[in-house]
Amino acid sequence: MSGADTVVDRLDRLARISAYPWKLTRRVFTPQHAEADALVLGWMEEAGLSVRRDPAGNLIGRLDGPIPGGPAIVIGGSVTTGEDAGPYGGTLGVVMGIAAVARVLREGPRLRHAVEVVAFAEDAANRFGPRLLGSKAVVGRFDPALLDLADDYDVTLRQALDAYGLDADKVETARRLPDEILAYLEVAAEAGPVLEQSASPVGIVPTMSEASMLRITLTGAVGSATTIPMADRRDALAGTAECILAAERIGASREGIMVTVVRIAVDPVPAFVVTGSVTFGVLIGSSDDAARRAVVPDLTAAFEGIAARRRLEITVEEGIDPDATRCDPGIVALFERAVAATGLPVARLAQGLSTNAFNMAVLGPIGLMLVRCRGAVGWGPAGVVDPADLAAGLDVLTSVVGTLAGGTDVPSPGGP
């Protein structure tokens, strides 16, 4: 069985482990998580890795280089899933990481640096709320207050960790130091249409997109839908509809910018009345921080103009606005050379989903590759990754891992 065939087979086997027979759901620190981890542990050992579980529940397979305990090239993912998930998600990174390391050991250069594959304990299904729990612990971002969060059955994270055989009071000791990580690599199925529309089965991510957030409240006047003439209405819902169209128009006019209206709250809920108040969020996403932030005043001005014309009061609140996470230019170039060496065209694209790479960038340089997904929903049940595309992705990942772990031209530990 080829490496790509092995990846397909293992993804299929993991997809059969679910809390429900009719949809794929593997929540963190559940029997299904443990069953999936047991399979992955066996595959790690089969590839020649020594395996341990850290205090946060992350499963780590490691192959040392010439210096025991030296800094490592880390490939990460997760075997937990969201609700009604597809077979890929974070699982693809773990399974392909193991296959790439096995191939490097079999065919590649002699290792000069350690290699690790990590299956992070990720709360992808929001069992407790905050996602990326495992990588937060690894980079020192785990808040002990999270231990008191409870799931729908009033089981706290502390209790779940204890039931999983872990000591909840030691989660923070999973933290690692920057000089332990030479580079962090991640592979995922694309959750968008760019690669499906291109000629390449894989794409390289130079920057992981971030988003600015606005919270808009329009306030008009509640009244009867059957007695107030149209000209006299101060309808907050009608004003919101116009704002949504304005947001769409502004987003469509800017290259590389995505503007989305989210979470609309209407008061009162329309029932033969003119709506008095609507609050909605606006998500502005891009990998270009300056371009993204330049859209905010344009949106604000458009919304304020609509409110003034419709005689509505408006409140605009700006929320989170973090900088985009940059992948290491050297690793990006290494991925692109590996793609070109296979004879495939090089495609660059953004990644807007939160992954463990966002956290791992705290410890060192990161690199991210996406694999084409038919249906453009790499994290959902409708997405399909062709075996040939998986094979191409595995070739590229194997080349990058072999070069980084077997060569001297690698980033310095702890940063680019």
Percentage with pLDDT > 70 across the chain: 96
Q: How far is CA 162 from the centre of its chain?
A: 27
Q: Which of 26-35, 185-194, 285-294, 314-323 has the highest mean pLDDT?
A: 26-35
pLDDT-derived band at 410 (thresholds 50, 70, 90) equals low
pLDDT, one tens digit per residue, over 52-109 is 999 999 999 999 998 889 999 999 999 999 999 999 988 999 999 999 999 999 987 7
pLDDT at 320: 77
C-beta of residue 255 within 8 angstroms of C-beta of residue 189: no
pLDDT at 377: 64
Compute the distance between CA of residue 111 and CA of residue 117 in angstroms, rounded to an integer: 15
Q: Quote the tokens at residue 342.
A: 């296979």
Q: Tell which CATH classification among 3.90.930.12, 3.30.70.360, 1.10.1740.10, 3.50.50.60 matches the domain 210-318.
A: 3.30.70.360
Antiparallel, parallel or unpaired: β 72-77 and 277-286: unpaired
pLDDT at 172: 94
Question: Would you give the DSSP letter of residue 293?
Answer: H
Q: Where are the domains of the chain?
A: 3-208+324-406, 210-318
What DSSP element (H or E) covers 202? strand 202-205
pLDDT, one tens digit per residue, over 289-314 is 999 999 999 999 999 999 999 999 99
Q: Output the CA–CA distances (angstroms, integers) from residue 1 to 7, 13, 39, 117, 398, in the order listed.
A: 10, 15, 18, 21, 17
Q: Tell which CATH classification among 3.40.50.920, 3.40.630.10, 3.40.1380.10, 3.40.980.10 matches the domain 3-208+324-406.
A: 3.40.630.10
pLDDT-derived band at 248 (thresholds 50, 70, 90) equals very high
- Residue 189: strand, helix, or coil: strand
Q: Quote the tokens at residue 300.
A: 């604000």
Q: Which of 53, 37, 41, 44 is nearest to 101 (CA)?
A: 44
Over range 146-155, report the average pLDDT. Answer: 96
C-beta of residue 128 within 8 angstroms of C-beta of residue 149: yes
pLDDT-derived band at 22 (thresholds 50, 70, 90) equals very high
pLDDT-derived band at 381 (thresholds 50, 70, 90) equals confident
**pLDDT tops 70 at residue 232:** yes
β-strand partners of 261: 282
Q: Which of 337, 402, 339, 404 is nearest to 372 (CA)?
A: 339
pLDDT, one tens digit per residue, over 168-201 is 999 999 999 999 999 999 999 998 888 888 889 9
pLDDT at 167: 97
Over range 349-375, report the average pLDDT. Answer: 89
Determine the straight-line distance between the first and last CA of the chain, rounded to whole angstroms.
37
pLDDT-derived band at 416 (thresholds 50, 70, 90) equals very low
Compute the distance between CA of residue 132 and CA of residue 360 in angstroms, rounded to an integer: 11
pTM score over 0.85? yes
Over range 149-167, report the average pLDDT. Answer: 97
Residue scoring higher pLDDT (95 or 273): 95
pLDDT at 114: 96
Antiparallel, parallel or unpaired: β 72-77 and 181-189: parallel
Instruction: Please return the burial class of 214, using the count of CB atoms within 10 Å of its CB with bins 0-12, 13-18 and 19+.
Output: buried
How many Cβ atoms are within 10 Å of 416's Cβ, its own excluded? 15
Q: Quote the tokens at residue 238.
A: 């009608």
Q: Which of 412, 407, 399 is nearest to 3 (CA)?
A: 399
Average pLDDT, the chain: 92
- Residue 140: strand, helix, or coil: coil
pLDDT at 413: 57
Omega cis (within 30) before 268: yes
C-beta of residue 370 within 8 angstroms of C-beta of residue 349: yes
Phi-psi region of 105 (alpha: psi -120 to 50; beta: other; left: phi over 0): alpha
Compute the distance between CA of residue 297 and CA of residue 283 in angstroms, rounded to an integer: 14
Compute the distance between CA of residue 363 and CA of residue 33 in angstroms, rounded to an integer: 26
C-beta of residue 276 within 8 angstroms of C-beta of residue 220: yes
Over range 268-287, report the average pLDDT. Answer: 89
Q: How far is CA 232 from the centre of its chain?
A: 47
